[in-house]
Amino acid sequence: MEEKKELEKAVEDEVVEEVKPKAEAVVEEEDKENDEFVNVNKEELKKKLNEAYTELGSKFYKEVCAPTSGRPRELPRPSLFNDSVGRIKNIKEKMDKIISAELAAKGLKACPDCENEVVLASKFCNMCGYKFPSKPDEKKMRPTAVPRCKQCGANLEPDSVFCPDCGKRQ
């Protein structure tokens, strides 16, 4: 009986040894394909963004700088640029989502002011001092029986003299 278990274990170990590298290679290939997809997607978005900037610049030049054939120059109507500006915003939002997801996977986020990478839990940027907005649900989820900071609303220990989040004396 004992020999049978040892034999089964040996066979199982042999199968695992044979299958494991193949499974790891498949997972590695899938990760590589996902990375390539994100990079290709980012490159396509960069190309589209450059095209949209070129289109916007061309429209602006035609409206503001092109020869006027004697007519007085007027300020351009902003509505002339709405479609180009809308495309640019849309592309930038998509790129920001991709970049945010990449950073979040590393436990980071980008500062909207200086684009410095900071830890996800950061409340302030360590380069420019930008204060990240708090999540609206964060305060709702806190229990009401716990004492809170008078300044920022963070949870406090019952005997706290200073807030651990903002440093305000209580």
Tens of pLDDT, residue by residue over 63-78, are 777 666 666 667 777 8
pLDDT digits (tens, 9 = 90+) for 37-92: 556 688 889 999 999 999 998 888 887 776 666 666 677 778 888 888 999 999 99
pTM: 0.47
Does the residue 73 lie in any domain?
A: yes
* Same domain flag for 87 and 138: no
Does the residue 129 lie in any domain?
A: no
Does the residue 126 lie in any domain?
A: no
Does the residue 124 lie in any domain?
A: no
CA–CA distance, 102 with 42 (Å, rounded to integer)? 12
What range defines the domain where residue 144 resides? 134-170
Three-state DSSP class for 156?
coil
- What's the one-letter identity of residue 111? C
Does the residue 161 lie in any domain?
A: yes
CA–CA distance, 53 with 68 (Å, rounded to integer)? 23
* Same domain flag for 91 and 25: yes
Helix axis angle for 2-60 and 82-105, nearest 10°, is: 150
Confidence label for 17 from pLDDT (cuts 50, 70 and 90): confident
* Same domain flag for 11 and 50: yes
Query: What is the phi/psi pair of residue 125, to 5°?
Result: -75, 135
